[in-house]
Structure 1
């Protein structure tokens, strides 16, 4: 009888330890390898610094977990979402991704992003005024305002693997215009001489940027949503972003 009781206690302890271990497993965050600084710097397939690295580690710490940052090619990120291989994806907007991810819940936005048309010369005009121009873009990225212009042949995509490459090719004269965002443009220009800096021509869109969380029992969904609200109230998002201005 005593032996059976001991076996029962041992089984309960094993179950409790297994549950605790599962509860403390790292949260898996997707890192798109097309991104560049100040969002993320990637070395040897590892995310080492940037706004998203700091934000995701802070978010995981808020819910008592470690952050596992998984670097993936852009075209594989959505497949990883569909297969449940990641728990959280940050730096997304509804217009950028497949609307069919019903197993994911949107958090509050942590920043707004202005997408820009940029060139090597100062100026100010709308993208719709351009004719038969090649535009520096990033492979797999969606540009809703430009899509009708691409479809009717008024403009042409010139895809690169990363945001940094799109700006470097613009600087090198491979095309006269490219699409980027205000944070990437500011980071690029701070590392250029005054003569090499790029200029914003117009704002294409201003979009709220959020995270999406896998809605499954092994993910602390409510805690993550609450943590995002807390971080906003504490000014943590602005603090992280300002460190990279």
Structure 2
């Protein structure tokens, strides 16, 4: 069998294969990136937002870890707090994490609860240590504008005197400056401010107001489903990655 005969016999087939090979070797189109919405007023350790960019923080770390497990890239998009629910509903983002369904009204799919924190009442050591929430009736208590505190509202009713700050960091700064003697904060925020030396004020042992397990919300137009998200969360928790992410900010 001569080489000339082989070329004549198989030449058209080889030519077709040569044309098809580049197509077969082309990578499949990449899955669209997930868009993570982040509150523009968020403070560390939740997030640091500068020049309309999310620079660092737990929210960004969580988004990256979940996106990696879902085979996606992540884009973090800062949005004002008042617009978070609207932006998620309109599909301006796919994902919002470290919230609870009671905090963000809308027709969203919510993940399993998995992000731990504690709501604390902290009191300056220069003031009497409150025996319980009821001891604060009529006294100003540091709070964050736009946040609800159901346990305090239930315990004190009309005696709950909010002293609002724009964010959690400013709330603790007011405590340190002596403008208030008591403040409501998350343990994560408190420990971060103490670790970086921003809060050196002597405090009474904090009162635990509530245990929190936050969730992630999916937009109705999200590129992923809730089962896929919960599966990624399960992996994040099971192999200890979530604890490692949280440990960065303690």
TM interval, shorter chain, is 0.7 to 0.9
Q: Are 1:66 and 2:70 an aligned pair?
A: no
CA distance in structure 2 between the aligned counterparts of 1:71 and 1:194, rounded to whole angstroms: 27
**Which residue matches 1:142?**
148
CA distance in structure 2 between the aligned counterparts of 1:43 and 1:194, rounded to whole angstroms: 23
Q: Are 1:78 and 2:82 an aligned pair?
A: no
Shift in alpha-carbon separation, 1:80–1:200, aligned structure 2, 3 A: farther
Shift in alpha-carbon separation, 1:71–1:215, aligned structure 2, 3 A: same
- The match for 1:133 among 121, 126, 139 is 139
Shift in alpha-carbon separation, 1:125–1:37, aligned structure 2, 3 A: farther
* 8 A contact 2:110–2:226 mirrored in 1: no
Deviating beyond 6 angstroms after TM superposition, the runs of 4 or more aligned structure 1 residues are none
Is the radius of gyration larger for structure 1 or structure 2?
2
Shift in alpha-carbon separation, 1:198–1:187, aligned structure 2, 3 A: farther
- The match for 2:212 among 207, 214, 217 is 207
Shift in alpha-carbon separation, 1:132–1:97, aligned structure 2, 3 A: same
**Which residue matches 2:117?**
113
**Which residue matches 2:48?**
41
**Which residue matches 1:3?**
none
Question: What's the offset of the Cα at 1:116?
Answer: 0.4
Q: TM-score, normalised by structure 2?
A: 0.80
Shift in alpha-carbon separation, 1:201–1:213, aligned structure 2, 3 A: same
1:179-194 equivalences in 2 (<5 Å)? 179-192=184-197
Unaligned runs of 5+ in 1: 1-12
**Which residue matches 1:240?**
245
Instruction: String of CA shifts for 1:144-192, please: whole Å, max 9, x gaps.
Output: 112246751x121121211101111111122111110111111111233
* 8 A contact 1:214–1:221 mirrored in 2: no
Question: What's the offset of the Cα at 1:46?
Answer: 1.9
Question: What's the offset of the Cα at 1:124?
Answer: 5.1
Stretch deviating more after TM superposition (24-33 or 181-190) = 24-33
CA RMSD of aligned residues (A): 2.5
CA distance in structure 1 between the aligned counterparts of 2:242 and 2:33, rounded to whole angstroms: 22
* 8 A contact 1:30–1:89 mirrored in 2: yes
* 8 A contact 1:108–1:229 mirrored in 2: no
* 8 A contact 2:133–2:156 mirrored in 1: no
Instruction: String of CA shifts for 1:90-130, please: whole Å, max 9, x gaps.
Output: 001233232xx33x222222222110011221835212211
Q: TM-score, normalised by structure 1?
A: 0.81
Question: What's the offset of the Cα at 1:200?
Answer: 4.4
1:51-62 equivalences in 2 (<5 Å)? 51-62=58-69
Shift in alpha-carbon separation, 1:128–1:59, aligned structure 2, 3 A: same
* 8 A contact 2:142–2:183 mirrored in 1: yes
**Which residue matches 1:8?**
none
* 8 A contact 1:118–1:178 mirrored in 2: yes
